[in-house]
Amino acid sequence: MLASDEINPISYSYPAIMNQWSEPSKKIFETGDVKSFEKSIAFRELVQILNKIVLAVQDIKVPPGVLDPAIVTRDITVLDSDNSATSVQEAHAYQENVGVMLRILHDLEQTIDDTPPVKGPTRFGNIAFRTWHEKVEHVLNSLTTLRPPAGLNIDEFLIEARYYLANSFGSKIRIDYGTGHELSYLAFVGALMRYDILKSPTGEELLVLFSKYYDLVRRLILVYNLEPAGSHGVWGLDDHFHLIYILGASQFCNDATAPSVRSILSRDVLNGYKTSNLYVNAIAFIFKLKSGPFNEHSPILNDIHVSVFLWTKVRQGLLKMYMVEVLGKLPVIQHFWFGDKLYPWADSTSMKQLPVNYSEDAKSANTTIDKGNSAGTSAPWAKPGIHQNTTYTRR
């Protein structure tokens, strides 16, 4: 668990539980399974990669030309992708597989352009999103062009890893997007890092991969009117995201030129940092989507900027909240599935397989899950009392 004031870059090393790669499957069905998950190798792997990425992006800026300002600017309609950002790989000396992933994310954006929303009122999301999702599998075939290190068969690796990327774009059944999908992208990037397909990526390389991902999913939200994955209401940090705020807060840590925590909501700071910092970029997206007093529609974020004075404390509080409200909540984590190599459902101490409470009721519920797009979240915090669970220490 991330409990200290600073991030602990812990490292775990486990022998392979199984010799064969396997398609991920559902293991979490009820509240008690969350406790088993917290004992699992999968949990430890996710915590480890979260630590590594958050530390890697500390004091690093998103380079110019990566984040599309139109996506987070009010009164601008986002229909077509900004093709000027597709030359990011050519403009920077990134490793080859970063370029492969940027091309795949760009192709997915192009698929949005080729799949216009259905005209007419759509109260609960535009059904054209389902058509877009059907095209995703074809685009993801390009994952086989990733260059693996010696000894790794990329086709075998993708048996498990492809699942997490495919599930990071929202649910085509519910036409929604939330923190479970965001977690799935973290798991995919973590898999690339663990097997040296992304070999010791720099903080800038990681920020570029996450920035292009966030631009893509925000376009999906805007074009197809995706619902928040569950009705968080004002008791959530954000309708759709959480990890983006951790990454952006870490970008400001140890940066002597960073704006103060209390100034983030000002227009000058929003305009000055929305294309270089993911935290500010996420706040700007809220201002694009919502009107009215910020403290009324986003009270938890507002509380941060009223009561916290150090970016290290913002990062610490957001990490603690992530452990509770994303990795620790059944409605979110029940949609995270487990393979045998990347994220095993096995005890991190004994290495034995954890129990699966596969009851008849669970079997019935499982038949309704869209295996290809099952990382959607329900409302893990749509209730009063969130302030009791997450405390930001005044400094």
Q: Which of 302, 313, 289 is nearest to 235 (CA)?
A: 302
Going residue by residue through the chain (395 aa), what tens digit of pLDDT does each one get?
Answer: 443 445 554 445 555 555 689 999 999 999 999 999 999 999 999 999 999 999 999 999 999 999 999 999 987 666 555 544 446 655 678 999 999 999 999 999 999 999 999 987 777 899 999 999 999 999 999 999 999 999 999 999 999 999 999 999 999 999 999 999 999 999 999 999 999 999 999 999 999 999 999 999 999 999 999 999 855 556 789 999 999 999 999 999 999 999 999 999 999 999 999 999 999 999 999 999 998 999 889 999 999 999 999 999 999 999 999 999 999 999 899 999 999 999 999 999 999 999 998 765 555 544 334 444 333 333 222 333 333 333 333 33
Query: What pLDDT is attached to residue 135?
Result: 96
Query: What pLDDT is attached to residue 229?
Result: 83
Rounded CA separation 180/324 (Å):
13
Query: What pLDDT is attached to residue 148?
Result: 97
Rounded CA separation 228/124 (Å):
10
Query: What pLDDT is attached to residue 157?
Result: 98
Rounded CA separation 172/151 (Å):
36
Rounded CA separation 195/346 (Å):
19
Burial class (CB in 10 A: 0-12, 13-18, 19+), 13: exposed
Token readout for 156 is: 């075998």
| Phi, psi of 201, rounded to the nearest 5 degrees | -65, 145
| Cβ–Cβ < 8 Å for 97, 198 | yes
Query: What pLDDT is attached to residue 235?
Result: 74
Using DSSP, state whether 338 is helix, strand or coil: strand
Query: What pLDDT is attached to residue 95?
Result: 96
Using DSSP, state whether 364 is helix, strand or coil: helix
Count how many Cα atoms sit within 13 Å of the Cα of residue 3 in the half-sphere of its side chain.
1
Token readout for 332 is: 């979110």
Consecutive H or E run containing 217: helix 203-224
The type of residue at 211 is S
Note if the pTM is more than 0.75: yes
